[in-house]
Amino acid sequence: MKIYPSATKNDLNDFINLPFKIYKSDPMWVPPLKSELHNQFKPAKNPFLDHCTYKLFLLKDNGEVVGRVAALIDTLANEFWGKSIGLFGYYECPPDETASRLLLDAARIWLHKQGMSTMRGPWSFVSQEWGAVVEGFEPQPVIMAPYNPPYYIDQFDAYGLKKTKDLLVYVIDAQDGYQIPERILKLTDRVAQKYNIHVRPLNMKDYERDVEKFIALSNESLMNNWGYAPVTNAEAEALANDLKPILHEKAVMFAEDNGGKPIGFGIALPDINQILKRINGRLFPFGWLKLLFGLPKLTHYRMFALGVIPEYHGKAVDSLIYRALYESCFSPTVRMEINYVLEDNGPMNNAIVKLGAKPLRRYRIFEMPAS
Higher pLDDT, 274 or 10: 10
Return the closest-CA partner of residue 363 out of 227, 167, 143, 90: 167
Give residue-wise pLDDT tens across range 263-287: 999 999 999 988 888 776 666 665 6
Give residue-wise pLDDT tens across range 26-62: 999 999 888 889 999 999 999 999 999 999 999 999 9
Q: What angle do CA 271, 14, 369 make, to 5 degrees?
A: 80
Ramachandran region, residue 204 (left: φ > 0; alpha: ψ -120 to 50; beta: rest) = alpha
CA of residue 177 relative to chain centroid, distance = 27
pLDDT above 90 for 366: yes
- The residues facing 76 across adjacent strands are none
Report pLDDT for 324.
96
Report pLDDT for 86.
98
pLDDT above 70 for 9: yes
CA distance 338 to 27: 22
Give residue-wise pLDDT tens across range 232-252: 888 888 888 888 888 899 999
Report pLDDT for 125.
84
% residues pLDDT > 70 (the chain): 96
Higher pLDDT, 91 or 221: 91
- The residues facing 214 across adjacent strands are none
Structure confidence at residue 75 as a pLDDT band (50, 70, 90)? very high
Catalogue all structural domains in the chain, each as residue range(s) with its CATH number.
2-166 (3.40.630.30), 172-362 (3.40.630.30)
Residue 173 half-sphere exposure toward CB, CA atoms < 13 A? 8
Averaged confidence pLDDT in the chain: 92
Higher pLDDT, 275 or 200: 200
Give residue-wise pLDDT tens across range 89-133: 999 999 999 999 999 999 999 999 999 999 999 999 876 789 999
CA distance 248 to 271: 11
Under 8 Å between Cβ of 353 and 152? no
% residues pLDDT > 90 (the chain): 76
Under 8 Å between Cβ of 268 and 325? yes
